[in-house]
Amino acid sequence: LGAVWLVSYAFISDWLSPLSLLFLGLILAVVSYATGYWRRTFSVSQYVILTALGTGIVCATIFTAQIISTLFTPFLSLTLLTISLLYTMYVAWQTNTKKLAFAIAIAGLLVPVLVDVMAEPVWLLLYLFILSVGLLFVGAKMELRPVTLLLLIGVILYQSALYNSVEPNLLWFFVVMFSILFLVSVTVSFIRTKEANTLDILSLALASFSFVVFASEIALNAGLSTFIASAIMAIIGYSLANRDFPIIITAVYVAFTSVFLLIATSFIFEGYTEVLAFVLEVSTVFMIATYLGLPERVVRLIAIGYLLPLFASLSYFGSSAWNEGVWHADALVLIVVSASFVVSALWLIQKRTIAVYN
């Protein structure tokens, strides 16, 4: 408070020029960091508080610079902010201070809005990526799932705001990078805790939804992109299942694999080929789920997926093609849909019979 009062009074009294004021702010931040580092062996709380104070001064200085001077370009502002936040992340990680990690996440997402960096989308996206990598690393140690969710929401909002002002291929590149980053973060959380936490599942769902929406709008091939995402989910789920992780974690990846498959199919196919693809995918996922022995409630949810090809095939019952005989695409759809129900039922009966026998 004393530092803020001194700087404010000096500026109002014309003791300092705008440029000198900015440099004084940065000097005070460095002094605060240095004092906190010096006091770390005497008091951890002083170390944390002085570090937070230094970061606050940096944020205030960057914001003030946008009002009273043109010296701080968006690139310079983001560079100073990144350095400040990375050091603060290190302190939060070293001292295991959760409140400081939350403060970093909030400040890191809010300050770019205040310093008008939307005109520099590349630097903004790169800054957000560095911020996310650092905070997710810190959050993994302290199991700060809300930080992951907060970061994800912030990143999606920024990406949406940049939709009309950045080259689509560049934005799609960062969408893919962020999706991979948050997928890795959630998977590491599953592996470390060996449980399917609700916040982890919510983060994975939100990241997946964002990926699909952006893929449908700016990806060169939305269907291929979504199929690749489905394959990655399947590989992760299969790997965890082979390493004896709780079956509910495998069920999460099976569910997301199924959703990605169905969405990718809708992107690529249409007409009767789309229905045939739906039948094949739902049947395959259903058999895999029962083969892996996933919980019954998960199998039931997957079985509901049969409603999709069933309703999609209703229009083929009364099509005009039946007036010309039974050898046509509409008849093929009905045969395949019916056969899938029969085969899946026999498969399920066989699995249950084996289970009872054992």
Nearest CA to 185 out of 161, 203, 170 is that of 203
Structure tokens at 46: 């002083």
Each of the 358 residues of the chain gets a pLDDT tens digit; together they read: 665 566 556 655 666 666 777 787 788 888 888 998 888 888 888 888 888 888 888 887 877 776 766 667 777 777 888 888 889 888 888 888 888 888 888 888 887 777 766 667 888 888 899 889 988 888 777 778 888 899 999 999 999 988 888 889 999 999 999 999 999 999 998 988 888 888 899 999 999 999 999 999 998 888 899 989 989 998 998 888 888 788 888 888 888 888 888 788 878 777 667 677 777 777 777 777 777 776 777 777 777 766 766 666 666 665 665 556 566 566 776 777 777 778 877 877 776 654 544 4
Distance CA 142, CA 139 (A): 5
H or E stretch at 255: helix 247-268
Structure tokens at 62: 């960057």
Check: CB of residue 271 under 8 Å from CB of residue 280.
no
Using CA atoms of 128, 129, 133, 139 in order, give the dihedral in degrees to the nearest 10.
Answer: 40
Helix axes 145-161, 121-142, angle to 10 degrees: 170
pTM to 2 decimal places: 0.76
Distance CA 264, CA 245 (A): 28
Distance CA 64, CA 84 (A): 16
CA 121 distance to own-chain centroid: 19
Look at the alpha carbons of 101, 103, 109, 112 in this order and tell me if their dihedral is positive or negative.
Answer: negative
Distance CA 319, CA 149 (A): 48
Distance CA 46, CA 27 (A): 19
